[in-house]
């Protein structure tokens, strides 16, 4: 097939030709055929672009007016709007408390009612409640007996958290005392402009008040040691002592007080601060990246991507006539083992399910928990670290994760339910398993399965640089995941 053979009215046949060869992710006009087919469609109009549009989970050609950034690139745009929305969600959520706030705002806008106590969980069809860095949302008929579908994710990410007495002096410099939260790639926090966010507990005349706070200013930085003073660093590798080498510098002379700046940002006095949970965040905004914007570059992709997909899916399924009870559980503290009142080992999910769901629905063969967390994409520079028979690619669809030792909760019947949903949503799936000689990570999946007795599947989007201060995933996969989750919540 060449340009001369292509006519505008034959667009559907061309798409069928592409799709029959299982090219699911058409991102660039320079295809696997080695020829650019797309420019011939927009040469007649400089304002339009041919793209693959997903409508009701079907793939069809369409024409859209796009920004000048996209003109004349020969691109096929899929999932761009969802990817940009994810970037906004991430940038609004520098801490778990902000992630809960962002999710709550979206639920309220969609018509969900916030409740203060689980005793009110059966007053309306669509409700949610939040506690600290966790949020639980429920939708569906009040007396549904068919089954329950749960999407679980987590709001926390590895980062640097301030110690209770964080003001410190380091050889004449002002610095912050921090602890490393979770299994962070420590070196990724070097040489970055860092802001501060979290929550403050304030004393008021009416009692204690909890408020989120954030400073999107470059208040802190951890400078790396110059290579002239560590000549072997590129050969022996960078070794960082968490106590000595990861203390962010904030100044030299006596000056501004961090707590005072945070208090002022929420219109309170520093003297009113009783306590706090504060952490640092990278100030670089999330963005679409790659020469054809095939990637998302952002902090906290693990696991705000799944939080975003879960909330988006629940909102999309709200008006469904499905008889399923639909639940989203956004936990905190997954990165440190989930052992907390708001973690997956806490009581919240079981409290929600026992109060809202019948015994019939909880024991149904159709009931399912999706533990939605990111998966390791096969790194092109470290392919030997992956199982050669289970290669995982970005923008090739969500990943079902398996582990024989139940580090992931997926089993055959659960995987079959997910596969059926993906087929209905016209979404490709991938399968992940770790190398047999490498330890496997884990998720909230096995914990949720053990505590509820409900069949559970581990499902997520492939990414690179997991646990870095700046992570990377495909720009199409978040929408793929959302489509599968919508299908699971509805059918």
Options 3.40.50.1820, 3.40.50.720, 3.40.630.10, 3.30.429.10; which CATH number does 82-157+299-490 get? Answer: 3.40.630.10
* CATH domain 159-282 topology: Aminopeptidase i, Domain 2 (2.30.250)
SS (H, E, C) the chain: CCHHHCCHHHHHHHHHHHHHCCCCCCCECECCCCCECCHHHHCCCCCEEEEEEEECCEEEEEEEECCHHHCCCCECCCCHHHHHHHHHHHHCCCCHHHHHHHHHHHHHHCCCEECCCHHHCCCCCCEEEEECCEEEEEECCCCCCCEEEEEEEECCCCEEEEEEEEEEEECCEEEEEEEEECCCCHHHHCCCCEEEEEEEEEEECCEEEEEEEEEEEEEEECCCCCHHHCCCHHHHCCCCCHHHHCCCEEECCCCCCHHHHHHHHCCCCHHHEEEEEEEEEECCCCEEECCCCCEEEECCHHHHHHHHHHHHHHHHCCCCCCCEEEEEEEECCHHHCCCCCCCCCCCHHHHHHHHHCCHHHHCCCCCEEEEECCEECCCCCCHHHCCCCCCCCCCCCCEEECCCCCCCCCCHHHHHHHHHHHHHCCCCCEEECCCCCCCCCCCCHHHHHHHHCCCEEEEECEEECCCCCCEEEECCHHHHHHHHHHHHHHC
The Cα–Cα gap between 311 and 455 comes to: 21
Q: How far is CA 212 from CA 93, 98, 131, 204, in A?
A: 11, 7, 13, 15
User: Where in the chain are all domains bearing CATH 3.40.630.10?
Assistant: 82-157+299-490
The Cα–Cα gap between 69 and 66 comes to: 8
Sheet holding 368-372, edge to edge: 113-114, 127-131, 134-139, 324-331, 147-154, 368-372, 456-460, 399-401, 430-432
The Cα–Cα gap between 225 and 247 comes to: 13
The Cα–Cα gap between 235 and 223 comes to: 20
pLDDT at 241: 97
Tokens representing residue 12 in the block: 């559907």
Q: How far is CA 378 from the centre of its chain?
A: 19
User: Where in the chain are all domains bearing CATH 2.30.250.10?
Assistant: 159-282
pLDDT at 142: 87
pLDDT at 387: 95
The Cα–Cα gap between 96 and 98 comes to: 5
pLDDT at 78: 58
399-401/430-432 β-pairing: parallel
Residue with tokens 């919540």: 489
The pLDDT profile of the chain, 491 residues, written as one tens digit per residue, is 333 333 333 344 434 333 333 333 333 333 322 333 333 333 333 333 333 333 333 333 333 323 323 322 333 345 899 999 999 999 999 999 999 999 999 999 999 999 999 999 998 889 999 999 999 999 998 878 899 999 999 999 999 999 999 999 989 999 999 999 999 999 999 999 999 999 999 999 999 999 999 999 999 999 999 999 999 999 999 999 999 999 999 999 899 999 999 999 999 999 999 999 999 999 999 999 999 999 999 999 999 999 999 999 999 999 888 899 999 999 999 999 999 999 999 999 999 999 999 999 999 999 999 999 999 999 999 999 999 999 999 999 999 999 999 999 999 999 999 999 999 999 999 999 999 999 999 999 999 999 999 999 999 999 999 999 999 999 999 999 999 999 999 98
């Amino acid at each position: 097939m060449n340009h001369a053979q292509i006519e505008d009215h034959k667009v559907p046949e061309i798409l069928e030709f592409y799709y029959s060869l299982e090219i699911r992710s058409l991102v660039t006009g320079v295809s696997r055929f080695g020829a650019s087919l797309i420019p011939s469609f927009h040469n007649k109009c400089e304002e339009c672009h041919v793209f693959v549009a997903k409508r009701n989970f079907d793939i069809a050609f369409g024409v859209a007016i796009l920004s000048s950034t996209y003109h004349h690139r020969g691109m096929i745009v899929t999932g761009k709007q969802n990817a940009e929305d994810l970037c906004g969600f991430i940038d609004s959520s520098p801490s778990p408390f902000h992630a809960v706030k962002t999710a709550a705002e979206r639920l309220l806008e969609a018509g969900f009612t916030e409740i203060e106590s689980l005793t009110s969980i059966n007053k309306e069809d669509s409700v949610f409640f939040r506690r600290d860095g966790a949020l639980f949302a429920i939708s569906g008929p009040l007396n549904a007996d068919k089954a329950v579908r749960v999407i679980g994710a987590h709001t926390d990410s590895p980062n640097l958290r301030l110690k209770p007495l964080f003001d410190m002096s380091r050889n004449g410099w002002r610095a912050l005392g921090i602890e490393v939260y979770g299994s962070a790639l420590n070196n990724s926090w070097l040489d970055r402009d860092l802001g501060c966010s979290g929550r403050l507990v304030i004393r008021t005349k009416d009692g204690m008040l909890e408020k989120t706070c954030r400073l999107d200013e470059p208040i802190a930085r951890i400078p790396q040691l110059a290579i002239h003073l560590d000549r072997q660093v590129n050969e022996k590798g960078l070794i960082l002592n968490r106590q000595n080498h990861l203390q962010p510098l904030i100044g030299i002379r006596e000056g501004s007080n961090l707590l005072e700046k945070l208090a002022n940002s929420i219109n309170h006095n520093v003297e009113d601060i009783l306590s706090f949970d504060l952490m640092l965040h990278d100030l670089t905004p999330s963005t679409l990246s790659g020469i054809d914007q095939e990637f998302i570059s952002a902090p906290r992709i693990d696991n705000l991507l799944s939080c975003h997909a879960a909330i988006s899916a629940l909102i999309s399924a709200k008006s469904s006539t499905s008889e399923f009870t639909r639940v989203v559980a956004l936990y905190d503290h997954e990165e440190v083992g989930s052992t907390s009142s708001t973690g997956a080992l806490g009581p919240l999910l079981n409290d929600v399910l026992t109060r809202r769901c019948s015994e019939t629905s909880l024991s149904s063969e159709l009931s399912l928990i999706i533990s939605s967390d990111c998966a390791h994409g096969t790194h092109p520079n470290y392919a030997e670290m992956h199982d050669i028979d289970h290669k995982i690619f970005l923008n090739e669809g969500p990943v079902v994760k398996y582990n024989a030792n139940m580090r992931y909760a997926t089993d055959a019947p659960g995987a079959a339910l997910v596969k059926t949903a993906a087929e209905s949503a016209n979404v490709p799936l991938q399968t992940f398993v770790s190398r047999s000689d490498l330890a496997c990570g884990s998720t909230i999946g096995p914990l949720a399965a053990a505590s509820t007795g409900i069949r559970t599947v581990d499902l997520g989007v492939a990414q690179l640089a997991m646990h870095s201060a700046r992570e990377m995933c495909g720009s199409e996969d978040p929408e793929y995941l959302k489509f599968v989750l919508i299908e699971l919540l509805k059918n």
